[in-house]
Amino acid sequence: MSSAPAPSAPPAGMPVVFEAIVKRQALSATYNRGEVTLAPHIVYTKHGELYVDATTLDRDGKPPREVKIGAFKIAGLGSLRITPRRFEPSELFDPAEARYAGVTLLAIDR
């Protein structure tokens, strides 16, 4: 008989991510040894881990080549902080996507 793994404690940045989604304010973080500014749209679980899907507003001070929704493992985002920069929900974001069904913790109001 196997038992399910015990849930791990939520990452320290969770309250910051939730606040940024509710207030529609960008997040600044360290990701893959670079600085990113993200517009977070939804927090969900996948394989027992917490993720935030967001558009990247800039990476190391430069805008992205193309606008897209990226998935970021919250545990991999360091030095998370809310910025004063506000954002509008991306047209690319669809909270009704099947991958979010039953696993969404918080999503942006559209």
**Sign of the C-alpha dihedral, residues 70, 74, 79, 85?**
positive
Element (H, E) at 14: helix 14-23
Q: Structure pTM?
A: 0.88
Is residue 27 within 8 Å of 11, Cβ to Cβ? no
Q: What is the pLDDT of residue 5?
A: 47
Please provide residue 43's backbone torsions phi and psi, each rounded to the nearest 5 degrees: -115, 135
Q: What is the pLDDT of residue 56?
A: 96
**Residue 42 token pair:** 């939804």
Residue 81 bridge partners (DSSP): 28
Q: What is the pLDDT of residue 9?
A: 60
Q: What is the pLDDT of residue 3?
A: 46
Print pLDDT tens along the chain (110 aa). Answer: 444 444 556 667 889 999 999 999 999 999 989 999 999 999 999 999 999 999 999 999 999 999 999 999 999 999 999 999 999 999 999 999 999 999 999 999 87
Judged by phi (left if over 0) then psi (alpha if -120 to 50, else beta), residue 60 lies in left
Is residue 26 within 8 Å of 58, Cβ to Cβ? no
Q: What is the pLDDT of residue 109?
A: 84
